[in-house]
Chains A and B, each alone.
Chain A
Amino acid sequence: MARTKGYPEALEKKLHDQRFYGEDSNPEFTKNVKAISRTIAHMCYQCGTCTGSCPSAPRSSYRIRKFMRRAVLGLENEALTDPDLWLCTTCYSCADRCPRDIIPTDVIMSMRNLAFKRDIVPVNFLKTVTAIYASGHGVPNNDVNRAAREKIGLPRDPPTTHSYPEYMPGIRKILDHYQLKANADRIIKEREG
């Protein structure tokens, strides 16, 4: 603000534009993205190296640079309701090459966290949560594999929560602390009835 004090009205207007806040902007969104991702997301100068490095870009409309811009401009609704948000494979190629050391992948992850708070989340993510709540494993053991393990001289179940279910109450307590299971169940029920 101080920078523009006393400037002619036309210039004042122009500089105000440069602060990028339009009707759709939510400056809090930029702050939240930065805090959750622990990045300097606002420093993005839109060089596009991230999109150029992205394996998802050539086969979809997903453009990580666009999400970086939305982070800077505070375009919360536009970012969180875009289905492309979930096409990042988190390969971190963009992070490796970003000339500003921003780690765009983590910016995407923070936006997904914020989307989840508004119940915007694909169901497959929630199913991993319910699987871990049930057995401690995202990909649990099965009978074919148990037989194969036995055949190669391993115990039928690995020495994880599968063999030590007494560890499960602790795991459930941690997940319940964040009400993750309750929220996952609720959203899955809403979607699938």
Chain B
Amino acid sequence: MSEAGANHKFAFYLGCIAPNRYPGVESASIKAMKKLGVELVPLKGASCCPAPGAFGSIDLNVFYAMAARNLVLAEQMKMDIALVCNGCYKSIWEVNHKLKHNKDLRDAVNEVLKEVDMEYKGTINVYHTAELLYNDKFIGVDKIRDSVTNPLTGARIAVHYGCHLVKPHKDREFEKEVMLNTECPTWMEELVAALGATPVEYRNKMQCCGAGGGVRGYDIVHALDITNEKLINLKEEKVDALTDICPFCQLQFDRGQIEIQEKFGVTYNLPVLHFAELLGLAQGMSPQDLGLDLHGISCEPFLQKVL
């Protein structure tokens, strides 16, 4: 672990969909994490992670080089990276991990980075904010519970873990071992309970949202059909909201519900919130502060229950 982590100060890697579609995730993460003693410093000049589905499919070498560029920006700041998106985690964490452990890859990447006066050194670590929240070395469930001023009492909330933070677990190296369980993990449910809400289990909760791997762009009906299956399972449990830790999954569930309505004629009206947005609400941020009106599916019914 580097110095930066010990100071609880991280370079905040934003990605694309959080700042450009759900800015409440960005603002809530900065404010809520600050209250919990973690400072998120802007990572200036960062680009797309790059999108692991699109770039990984086309040319893995470009994928490695582009992700390495973002890593180098944080290395230059001498800070570990914190990020809010599973897709970004797949690119940034995994490429960092691969480059640290494979000299041939590192050399190839540095050959290209030389053209832009950069060098990947492998001096930093990458964390998802969900991991920082759950790991008591940084924050932990107790500290989150203590920070809550507006408990989300009475709300039934289901968790969508998404794929790329936790899978493939054989490659992952979480300090908290429970995070390596990818068949039926419950650590996110602990975080939801810490906010005063009731976490709800549902059938096949670890299933993918359907958007990844470029499938959303390639065959939208196929992607939405996967999303729809999850929504059917969620409806059975009569949940008030779904929480995620990945803006891309959020886009698929939130905007996807509108597309499902158009294409399949089924309506769910299930509010979908990033865990950072939930945390912001529980710490007293207003729905306006969080830009919740930008969501495709109205969060009103859920907000009425908890505010």
Q: Chain A interface (Cβ within 8 Å of chain B)?
A: 36, 55-56, 59-60, 86-93, 95-96, 101, 103, 105, 109-110, 112-113, 116, 121-122, 124-129, 132, 136-142, 144-145, 148-149, 151-154, 158-164, 166-167, 170-171, 173-175, 177-178, 180
Contact = CB atoms under 8 A, between A and B. Distances in A.
B263 interface: no
Nearest to A145: B20
Contact of B289 (A90, A149, A152): A152
A92 B46 CA distance: 27
Contact of A113 (B57, B229, B290): B57
Nearest to A37: B60
22 contacts: A89-B212, A90-B53, A90-B164, A91-B167, A91-B213, A95-B170, A113-B57, A113-B58, A125-B54, A125-B214, A129-B58, A139-B48, A148-B293, A159-B44, A159-B46, A171-B47, A174-B62, A174-B65, A174-B69, A175-B66, A178-B59, A180-B58
A59 B229 CA distance: 11
B170 A125 contact: no
Contacts, number: 220
B226 to A, nearest CB: 5
Interface string B211-234: 111110111001101100100000
Given A159-B42, A171-B69, A93 B116 contact: no
A139 B61 contact: no
Contact of A56 (B19, B168, B222): B222
Interface residues of B, number: 69
Nearest to A158: B19
A145 B222 contact: no
B222 A116 contact: no
B24 A89 contact: no
Given A141-B19, A154-B26, A87 B116 contact: no
Nearest to A122: B218
Contact of B206 (A93, A140, A152, A173): A93
Interface string B195-216: 0000000000011101111110
Given A125-B58, A152-B27, A140 B16 contact: yes
B122 interface: no
B115 interface: yes
The 9 closest A-B pairs by CB, nearest first: A124-B217, A91-B208, A158-B19, A90-B213, A167-B45, A128-B54, A92-B167, A95-B168, A159-B42
A90 B212 contact: yes
A174 to B, nearest CB: 5
A160 B55 CA distance: 19
A86 B167 contact: no
B54 A160 contact: no
B17 interface: yes
A55 B23 contact: no
A139 B16 contact: yes
A166 B44 CA distance: 11
Contacts of A129: 54-55, 58
Nearest to A111: B57
